[in-house]
Structure 1
Amino acid sequence: MFHAHSLTERPESGWQPLADHLVAVGALAGARGGKFGATTAARYAGLLHDLGKYTLAFQRRIRDDWGKVDHATAGAKMAVTLATPSNPRLQTPDLLIARILAHAIAGHHAGLPDSIGTVGALDDRFSRELEPLVDQWRNEIAPDATGLMPPFDLSDVKSGPERLPRALAFFGRMVFSTLVDADFRDTEAFYAAAEGKPVDRDWPRLPDVVDRLIVRLDAHMAALAAGAADTPVNRLRGEILGNVRAGAAKSTGLFTLTVPTGGGKTLASLAFALDHAKRHGLDRIVYAIPFTSVIDQTAEIFRDVLGDDVVLEHHSSIDEEKLGGRTARDKLRLAMEDWAAPIVVTTNVQLFESLHSHRPSRARRLHNLARAVIVLDEAQTIPRPVLRPCVAAIGELAKRYGTSVVLCTATQPALGKADGFPDGPDLDPSRELAPEPDRLTRALARVRLARVGDLDDEALVSALEASRQGLVIVNSRRHALALFDCARAAGLDGVTHLSTRQYAADRVRILAGVRQRLKDGRPCRVIATSLVEAGVDVDFPRVWRAEAGLDQIAQAAGRCNREGKRPIDESLVTVFRAPDHPPPREIAGLVADMGRVSARHDDLLTNAAIRDYFGEVFWRIGPERLDVHGVMKAWRLSAGVPSFDYRKVGEAFRLIDSEMAPVIVAIEAEAKQAIDDLERSFLPPGSAARKLQRFLVQIPPRIRFGLIARGDVRLIRERDLGDQFAVLVTDKLYRADVGLHWEAADGNDLDLLMA
């Protein structure tokens, strides 16, 4: 008997038969791939993924813990061999797909490999001498290498020789996702059954609960309307909601939702997603948000409206891939998130890094993006150095995977082919969910923009002192904290500091206090970084914004006179230069772009000015700097043989260039309990990571290293968890009003990164 997984403390009769595992994984992978026409291809990969376990060497290993045996390469190699026609010079579609599937099979544990050229690449692995297979596999699993090519419409990729390999490489990544998830699921089920521990991770299916969710949303919207004043802004919000929901009847694909800040985009886009999912039988809704600072607010809104049992909030910065011990069972206890929930609220980092990752834990969730609704909130915030591959990925999902993607923003970036964006998708104007966005912008105009010269911190404090309620937004955490100290020293009443120095749970409480002070008419002076611009619902009579790009200026303006209750002339957004805190080079370039555009537009907050601005930015940057990692050139085909750089792309691609490292601030009881349970191994590391995500502060790695060296931060279970759980020990370095003030550890004035 050949076995897939062992239970060393039990007789072999209780071990998992290899054929059972391969057939089960093939069936599970095929079911997942069926959503995008890959039933046959995914089943084929599943049947062959552990073929190398049909060797005497591997069976000795699991019986006697005897060395390491490569059990993945054999299946990858056989996948190509079985699909090769009798005439080896004949290149067939099935052979091409088999070569692509070989990457997924070879990488189902270590990650998708490159095709050629590096140690561990597919050609390198195929050249190695492998343990001989025992022929028993042919009768037990009988893989069929025909019909592997999916029924895709590839007419759109024929216009450029580089487009077909991109589409096929993406298909390979999606099949890899089905395989990894199926393998994890079946292996997890085997060990859970053996230990008598049921796997309780199943979510309700969206099609089964969508009617209930729509009823809840309708009741919530009715209550909001009943309690809202009859104002022009609220009437426009109602009009926008009606138009957006009417658009849900349109076919799946790419949509835009261009609504000025304060127009009710969040709930309107949720209403569209639910209605659209019901209309087309889609499987889930993924709401991607640019910053972790806003995800808590959005997830809380969705839980309040729809219920806790359908919303997954996933944005942990703890790297779950690096957790756990060496055995399969240890890794499975992590229960790495597969985004199977009906409603997923996540970050752009999680979404786009998963779409370009070679690593199994991240790629595992990708098949759940097929036949989904993806709402990209604040779509203009996708970082420009990776904008082309990000746009290409969402275009691919919309074109060939039954996915609807909504580019949702007040400042719509010019990403379509008609806009001249490199490799841009076809953005049909008729698929704008809020018709007449120019009219909406005019109707929702609520502020006056004033560009002034230098304002140092003393001048800003004086301006705040003269305004009972006001918001200042600056470009760095360093500046925000310095300005906050200056305002406190001046004795300003109601002054509040808000940045990513504070962990998410504290930011939620701080914002709740700010909103209450604004509502009560009490003094409320907030000094914040740009995190407050991305969908944070606050309404100030005055806003000051340090110079930045026009999109950020427009977002800042959305925090001023948000409800339209004040006269426009009294609702002033002042754009200033901070002489002692100049913007970083990237933002300085955007300031210059805005300066050129301002000469051509009297009103910078119109859609025409914003389109012009993005065109200026993309022209200045150029196509190469919109894809700094060369992702768009990483996929090649030569005579039906793929040369794909999965691993190179996965290792290089980062949505945000500046690496940050998490520090856990375990001051609150919930965080303390999670840390205690983790230390005593009562809580799996993956579960701990998700419990602790609300208590993380991101800091530069070199600063965290210094805190660890000084004993201000300690690593939990370093031997098996590495540096993933770094917990603040010196509690006095954190205060809710200031956040994590790491400079106080040794008095050094260290560089701080932007929020």
Structure 2
Amino acid sequence: MDDIYAHTKDGSGPESWQKLDEHLDKVAQMAATFASSFDAAEWGYLLGLLHDVGKYSINFQKRLTGEKQQHVDHKGMGARLLQDRASAFGRIGAYCVAGHHVGLPDYNGTDNGHSLEKTVRGAASFPEDRTNPLLGRDDPELPFPIHSPFQASFFTRMLFSTLVDADFLDTEAFMDGVRHSWRTPGPSLEVLTAALDAKLATFAASGRINELRAEILAACRAKASLAPGLFSLTVPTGGGKTLTSMAFALDHARLHGKRRVIYVIPYTSVIEQNARVFREIFPANSVVEHHSTFDASKVFDREDHARESAEARRHRLACENWDAPVVVTTSVQFFESLFSFKPSRCRKLHNLADSVIILDEAQMLPVDFMVPCLRALEELTENYGASVVLCTATQPALRKEDFACGLDGLGDDRELAPDPQRMHEAFKRTELVDLGELALAEVAEMVREREQVLCIVNTRKRAAELFELVRDEPGARHLSALMCPAHRSKRLEEIREMLAGGEPCRVISTQLIEAGVDVSFPEVVREMAGLDSITQAAGRCNREGELDGAAPVGVFTPVEGVARAFSGPAGHTGSVLRTPDVDPFSPEAIRHYFTLHYWLEKDRLDSKRILEHLNNDRGEWYFRKAGKAFRLIENTMVPVVIPYDERAEKLVRDLHYAEHPGGILRQLQQYTVQVYDGQFAALDQAGGIEWVADTYAVLCGMEFHDEMFGLTFPGEMRPEDFIG
């Protein structure tokens, strides 16, 4: 056959057919460009040339013309050519080509036949009338020394990212040129820096706290010229770390030729808040917000062209591969992508190279996945040109000298803030008071005795029980993740007004209020938990130093017992508090706490044995097993729309009849609650769920919604369903 094609689309003219040689060449060039960010351009180029050579087969061409209906494998031929090289290049490339549609395979196994060995074994031979793209070529050299199997498997994953993104983009350009034209670069980092400087210039410079914030900002920016790599940024609560870390990231990126800033946050509620802050500062097309509640690529219907703004279009497409100046995402999205086998999740990974990655609330790194997470961060900084900033008020002890599995190269000289101990003392606005063991009724009595107080407990269930004991008191309010964001925002606004007006304000909350919520109480009471959580709780007390002296943060151990998920961290906190002459909120105490936390939990640091799947020195890696095991949230959650107010009710009505619901779903984010599968099943069985357009779960039984509690559930729920 003289004319060999890669793709066809509707129509009969020549423009409806893309020649295979053209596709291979374009993918090769694009993958080479992507891989050049980690000095592997030749690797990317060759994989691009080989990924679709299986389409040279007569059977595949008949499949395109409709002469043959059944599926024709086209990935195996290129994988076989590579595997036959019997070299590191051959094995690494074979994984990438074999998985470029179905995902990175395991070396062998029975995962629906998706194994490298089976793919290669069943592949057709390369046609004799074609020139083997590898003929006469030597294997490309490794771009950097590889000292471990994990490094090699990580390199494979990064190459895979360049290939699948290039393949998708070229295919899209042919199949849907209009959609492809929407992918435009965002503003330069120079433009973003100027916008941030203009915003920072409007901040008040007077007052002790503002002067300290300005000192931290100036010190961080002065260190932007430091060599790329790992950094820590230890800023006390209220020290302005969000904009300070962004200012450092932009300066560092410009000075060292980095391409973008990735801002990683543990909590969805804080992501929405920070993304909003950044959008107010930066020009349009600067910020991509990507998390489970707001996955623009999933909520947009392709036909909804006319109603979508150019900025919304670009945002939706940039969520696919993070091709944007600033990306704000969750820890779940970030780390699970780093260990995923799926092409859709791996597409973005090559865009982490030559980026500045800010890990906000770094103390929240997942203990059960600590070792694989740290090894991935080391790889990004050592071999892919990334800089990583561990940003928090409670800096975890993640250095190699703190524990054996820690990060190498994170010494005191890599701290960006000026003298964390001095900053701690300067920002000191609270003191910890050990309240000992208390029954829930005694805690309720403490809350009743105080006019303005915040009481934080570990679980939704305990918060609900405690609130029932005080709900008749003036100013009693309850906060929980079972309230939709619009509901929580309304509550927080009420709380701020009561505090500012000197009115009674007694708030019972789960730990969600510790995550970047700007409120300031004269006193906080906290259930025993990890010292990092207690320190974050203290950040909601005397926040601006408005009280003379240190405000009390009382910590109690419930007679009823600490929930299992919190018992380990609570025990480590107890050990620190029993240490003589130690300030429990000091950097020294925090380091002591985390050292205990990691050492005493060392059997959990790779509890799913992720590294075992990726550490075989024969190149027999199990990407699918690793990806399926690497789940930061074990229990799946389901979004439920709460028709909380008239606006939400109207949006739900519109959703019933919308042909293209993307814009409506984006607005309904503010009315969505994530619930565990068991909770959802209970609501559904009780008739509390209505399925709109057979797809979207909406609460229809408002008897399962309480103005004080948010979403409620029928029957008895398991205690673990109330965590958080």
Rounded Cα–Cα distance in structure 1 between residues aligned with 2:556 and 2:344: 44
Residue 526 of structure 1 corresponds to: 507
Aligned residues: 704
Give 1:614's aligned amino acid. Answer: F
Indicate if the aligned counterparts of 1:671 and 1:691 stay in contact, CA closer than 8 A.
no
Matched residue SS, 1:541: coil
1:511 paired residue among 492, 500, 505: 492
Rounded Cα–Cα distance in structure 1 between residues aligned with 2:389 and 2:257: 17
CA separation of 1:650 and 1:122: change in aligned 2, threshold 3 A: same
CA separation of 1:514 and 1:296: change in aligned 2, threshold 3 A: farther
1:240-279 equivalent positions in 2, closer than 5 A = 240-279=216-255
Q: Please identify, of 707-716 and 314-323, the stretch whose mean Cα deviation from structure 2 is larger.
A: 314-323
Residue 166 of structure 1 corresponds to: 150
Could you report, residue by residue, the CA deviation over 1:679-698 in whole angstroms, capped at 9, with x for unpaired residues? 754246xx877665444312
Deviation at 1:102, TM superposition (A): 1.3
Matched residue SS, 2:390: strand
Deviation at 1:75, TM superposition (A): 1.5
1:276-295 equivalent positions in 2, closer than 5 A = 276-295=252-271
Indicate if the aligned counterparts of 1:541 and 1:561 stay in contact, CA closer than 8 A.
yes
Rounded Cα–Cα distance in structure 2 between residues aligned with 1:289 and 1:675: 33
Deviation at 1:21, TM superposition (A): 1.7
Residue 89 of structure 2 corresponds to: 97
Residue 74 of structure 2 is aligned to residue 67 of structure 1: no
Residue 698 of structure 2 corresponds to: 727
Residue 308 of structure 2 corresponds to: none
Matched residue SS, 1:393: helix
Residue 621 of structure 1 corresponds to: 601
Could you report, residue by residue, the CA deviation over 1:224-253 in whole angstroms, capped at 9, with x for unpaired residues? 125xx422x222111111111111111111
Rounded Cα–Cα distance in structure 2 between residues aligned with 1:522 and 1:413: 38
Could you report, residue by residue, the CA deviation over 1:47-70 in whole angstroms, capped at 9, with x for unpaired residues? 222222221222222322611122
1:119-134 equivalent positions in 2, closer than 5 A = 119=111, 120-126=113-119, 128-134=121-127
Indicate if the aligned counterparts of 1:255 and 1:433 stay in contact, CA closer than 8 A.
yes
Q: Please identify, of 725-734 and 26-35, the stretch whose mean Cα deviation from structure 2 is larger.
A: 725-734
Indicate if the aligned counterparts of 1:637 and 1:643 stay in contact, CA closer than 8 A.
yes
1:501 paired residue among 482, 490, 510: 482
Indicate if the aligned counterparts of 1:98 and 1:148 stay in contact, CA closer than 8 A.
no
Rounded Cα–Cα distance in structure 2 between residues aligned with 1:69 and 1:321: 28
CA separation of 1:540 and 1:316: change in aligned 2, threshold 3 A: same
Indicate if the aligned counterparts of 1:153 and 1:400 stay in contact, CA closer than 8 A.
no
Rounded Cα–Cα distance in structure 2 between residues aligned with 1:143 and 1:239: 61
Deviation at 1:454, TM superposition (A): 3.4
1:468 paired residue among 444, 451, 462: 451
Indicate if the aligned counterparts of 1:541 and 1:560 stay in contact, CA closer than 8 A.
yes
1:652-691 equivalent positions in 2, closer than 5 A = 652-665=629-642, 669=647, 673=651, 676=654, 680-683=658-661
Rounded Cα–Cα distance in structure 2 between residues aligned with 1:675 and 1:10: 42
Identity, % of aligned positions: 41
Deviation at 1:268, TM superposition (A): 0.8
Could you report, residue by residue, the CA deviation over 1:344-380 in whole angstroms, capped at 9, with x for unpaired residues? 1111111111111111111111111111111111101
Matched residue SS, 1:426: coil
Deviation at 1:167, TM superposition (A): 0.9
Unmatched runs of 5 consecutive residues or more in structure 1: 85-94, 158-163, 326-331
Matched residue SS, 1:562: coil
Could you report, residue by residue, the CA deviation over 1:449-474 in whole angstroms, capped at 9, with x for unpaired residues? 11113334443333233323221111
CA separation of 1:199 and 1:8: change in aligned 2, threshold 3 A: same
Deviation at 1:660, TM superposition (A): 2.5
Residue 386 of structure 1 corresponds to: 369
CA separation of 1:423 and 1:60: change in aligned 2, threshold 3 A: farther
Residue 391 of structure 2 corresponds to: 408
Unmatched runs of 5 consecutive residues or more in structure 2: 302-313
Matched residue SS, 1:352: helix
Indicate if the aligned counterparts of 1:44 and 1:143 stay in contact, CA closer than 8 A.
no
1:577-726 equivalent positions in 2, closer than 5 A = 577-580=557-560, 582-602=561-581, 603-622=583-602, 624-638=603-617, 641-665=618-642, 669=647, 673=651, 676=654, 680-683=658-661, 692-715=668-691, 725-726=696-697
Indicate if the aligned counterparts of 1:540 and 1:559 stay in contact, CA closer than 8 A.
yes
Rounded Cα–Cα distance in structure 2 between residues aligned with 1:123 and 1:198: 32
Give 1:221's aligned amino acid. Answer: L
When the two chains are superposed, the root-mean-square deviation of aligned CA atoms in Å is 2.9
Residue 299 of structure 1 corresponds to: 275
Deviation at 1:583, TM superposition (A): 2.5
2:186 paired residue among 197, 204, 210: 204
Indicate if the aligned counterparts of 1:664 and 1:726 stay in contact, CA closer than 8 A.
yes
Rounded Cα–Cα distance in structure 1 between residues aligned with 2:110 and 2:664: 36
Rounded Cα–Cα distance in structure 1 between residues aligned with 2:638 and 2:185: 31
1:423-438 equivalent positions in 2, closer than 5 A = 424-438=407-421
Rounded Cα–Cα distance in structure 1 between residues aligned with 2:280 and 2:135: 48
CA separation of 1:142 and 1:279: change in aligned 2, threshold 3 A: same
Deviation at 1:649, TM superposition (A): 0.6
Deviation at 1:11, TM superposition (A): 4.7
Rounded Cα–Cα distance in structure 2 between residues aligned with 1:675 and 1:594: 50
Rounded Cα–Cα distance in structure 1 between residues aligned with 2:124 and 2:655: 43
Q: Please identify, of 590-599 and 174-183, the stretch whose mean Cα deviation from structure 2 is larger.
A: 590-599
Deviation at 1:116, TM superposition (A): 2.6
Deviation at 1:324, TM superposition (A): 11
Deviation at 1:177, TM superposition (A): 1.1
Rounded Cα–Cα distance in structure 2 between residues aligned with 1:642 and 1:703: 43
Rounded Cα–Cα distance in structure 2 between residues aligned with 1:5 and 1:732: 54
Deviation at 1:153, TM superposition (A): 4.5
Matched residue SS, 1:479: helix
Indicate if the aligned counterparts of 1:103 and 1:122 stay in contact, CA closer than 8 A.
no
Matched residue SS, 1:662: strand
TM-score between both structures, scaled by the size of structure 2? 0.90
TM-score between both structures, scaled by the size of structure 1? 0.87
Could you report, residue by residue, the CA deviation over 1:329-349 in whole angstroms, capped at 9, with x for unpaired residues? xxx998562111211111111
Rounded Cα–Cα distance in structure 1 between residues aligned with 2:580 and 2:186: 51
CA separation of 1:440 and 1:192: change in aligned 2, threshold 3 A: same
Residue 160 of structure 1 corresponds to: none
CA separation of 1:601 and 1:260: change in aligned 2, threshold 3 A: farther
Rounded Cα–Cα distance in structure 1 between residues aligned with 2:571 and 2:315: 51
Give 2:464's aligned amino acid. Answer: L
Residue 723 of structure 2 corresponds to: 754
Give 1:630's aligned amino acid. Answer: R
Residue 328 of structure 1 corresponds to: none
CA separation of 1:671 and 1:372: change in aligned 2, threshold 3 A: farther
CA separation of 1:627 and 1:9: change in aligned 2, threshold 3 A: same
Give 1:117's aligned amino acid. Answer: G
Q: Please identify, of 673-682 and 184-193, the stretch whose mean Cα deviation from structure 2 is larger.
A: 673-682
Residue 554 of structure 2 corresponds to: 574
Indicate if the aligned counterparts of 1:315 and 1:347 stay in contact, CA closer than 8 A.
yes
CA separation of 1:109 and 1:712: change in aligned 2, threshold 3 A: farther
Indicate if the aligned counterparts of 1:45 and 1:101 stay in contact, CA closer than 8 A.
yes
Residue 381 of structure 2 corresponds to: 398
Q: Please identify, of 359-368 and 508-517, the stretch whose mean Cα deviation from structure 2 is larger.
A: 508-517
Matched residue SS, 1:493: coil
CA separation of 1:506 and 1:360: change in aligned 2, threshold 3 A: farther
Indicate if the aligned counterparts of 1:289 and 1:377 stay in contact, CA closer than 8 A.
yes
Residue 553 of structure 1 corresponds to: 534
Could you report, residue by residue, the CA deviation over 1:241-283 in whole angstroms, capped at 9, with x for unpaired residues? 1111111111111000112212211111111011111111211
Rounded Cα–Cα distance in structure 1 between residues aligned with 2:478 and 2:235: 29
